[in-house]
Amino acid sequence: MTISRDQKLSIYDKSRELKAEFNELVDEFTEGLWRYCRYLTGSPWDGEDLYQETMVKAFGSIHQRWHATNPKSYLYRIATNTWIDHCRKEKRIIGSIEEEVLAEETVDGLEIEEALNHLISLFTPRQSAVFLLMEVFSFTAKEVAGIVRTTPGAVYATVQRMRKKLNNQPPKINSESNSTSKSIKSEHSIIEKYLNALNNGDLEGVLSIFSDEAYNEASLGFQEFSKDEMRSGSMQFGLPGLRAEKYKLWGRNVIVVFFDGEQGAEIHDIQYQEIENGKIVYHRSYYFRKEFMFAASEELGYPVQMDKPVVDWN
C-alpha cells in the first residue's frame, strides 16, 4: 500500500495535535519532573537529556496504556527506569533495595537540600531514585515501590538507612553554580564566525558555516536534517535580529541569545554546536525548553523571554 503525500501530511498534523493534548495532560508535572531528572543524574545537562528522553518515551508509549493512568507516576516511572537502563549500559552498579530495617531509631536532623549534594556520590541509582521520590517529590512508599520495582517495606528501610548515612556526612560545597561565566574564549574559530554572522543578521553567512547534512534540533520542538531543510524551514524568514554572546553554563560552552526589550535583556534562546571538518554538523537549541530555560535563567542572572514566536509562557 502506497501512502500519498497528503496522507503523510495528515499523519504529521494529527501527531502534532495529539502532542499538544499530551502536553496539556502533563503540564502540571513537568517542572517537578525536570528537577527530579537533574537530581537523579547529578547534572543539569544530563538531567535535561533524561527529561527529553522521558517525554519522548512517555508520548510514544501512552497508546499502550489500556487502564486509567496517573500521569505523574507514569512520567516518573519512565524517567527512573530510563536512567537505570543508562547506568546499566555504563556498567554502573545499580544496587538492590533491601527490606531489612535498622535496629535503632535514628535522630533525624537531615537537611534535604544539603542531602541532594551527596546522593550521586554515596548511593546507587536505584537508592537515589527511592530517596528522591519519597523524600523530595512526596510519593507514597507504595507508589515508589511500583516505580522502582520493589516492595513498600524495602522503600521504608532504604530511606531510613540513607537518612542515617546522610546525617553523618559533612557539609558539601556545591560547585555547580561556580562553573558559569560570561564571554568565554571560543574553542573553535567556527563558533566566532557563527556568532558574528548571527549578530549581524547574515543568514547566508550563518548557513555557509553548516555542513550540507547538518542536524538542526530545537529540543522537543522540531528537527531538521539538512541545510536545505533549515533554509526552507526554521530560517525561511531570516534571522531574528537578536544579540548573542558566549557563555560557559554549568561547565559547557554555549551561546546565549538575548532579546533586548523595554525591561532589559531577556534570554531568548540557548544553543550549542558540534563542529567537524570546519563545519557545524550539529546545532542544538533549547528555545522550546521551558524548565531548562528557567533553571538557566537563575544561573545566568537574566529573566527568560516569556512571549516569543510560537511560545507563550505567561
- Give the per-residue pLDDT at 107: 43
Query: In the structure grid, which three cell numbers stand for residue 186, read together?
Result: 571560543
Q: How many CA atoms lie within 13 A of 136 on its CB side?
A: 24
- For residue 95, give the nearest of 149, 167, 165, 152 by alpha carbon: 149
The tens-digit pLDDT sequence of the chain (314 residues) is 677 777 766 888 899 999 999 999 999 999 999 999 999 999 999 999 999 999 999 999 998 888 877 999 999 999 999 999 999 988 877 766 766 654 444 445 567 777 787 888 899 999 999 999 999 999 999 999 999 999 999 999 999 999 988 888 766 655 554 577 776 666 689 999 999 999 999 999 999 999 999 999 999 999 999 999 999 999 999 998 999 999 999 999 999 999 999 999 999 999 999 999 999 999 999 999 999 999 999 999 999 999 999 999 99
- Give the per-residue pLDDT at 7: 73
- Give the per-residue pLDDT at 186: 62
Q: How many CA atoms lie within 13 A of 26 on its CB side?
A: 24
- For residue 166, give the nearest of 116, 124, 126, 96 by alpha carbon: 116
Its pTM stands at 0.89
**Residue limits of CATH 3.10.450.50 in the chain:** 179-312
Burial class (CB in 10 A: 0-12, 13-18, 19+), 174: exposed
Apex CA 74: angle with CA 72 and CA 76, to 5°?
A: 70
Residue 38 — φ and ψ, nearest 5°? -65, -45
Whole-angstrom distance, CA of residue 228 vs CA of residue 208? 11
Pairing label, strands 210-218, 222-224: antiparallel
Helices (H), the chain: 5-26, 30-41, 44-61, 71-89, 112-116, 119-122, 125-131, 141-148, 152-167, 189-199, 203-208, 227-232, 290-300
How far separated are the first and last CA of the chain, in Å rounded?
46
Whole-angstrom distance, CA of residue 125 vs CA of residue 81? 10
Which CATH code is given to the segment(s) 179-312? 3.10.450.50
Map residue 172 onto helix, strand or coil: coil
Map residue 236 onto helix, strand or coil: coil
Fold of 14-174: Butyryl-CoA Dehydrogenase, subunit A; domain 3 (1.20.140)
**Residue limits of CATH 1.20.140.160 in the chain:** 14-174
**Neighbour tally for 253: CB within 10 Å:** 16
Which DSSP category does 62 fall into? G
Which residues, listed in sequence order, are joined to residue 181 by a DSSP beta bridge?
248
Which residues, listed in sequence order, are joined to residue 283 by a DSSP beta bridge?
216, 273
- Give the per-residue pLDDT at 171: 61
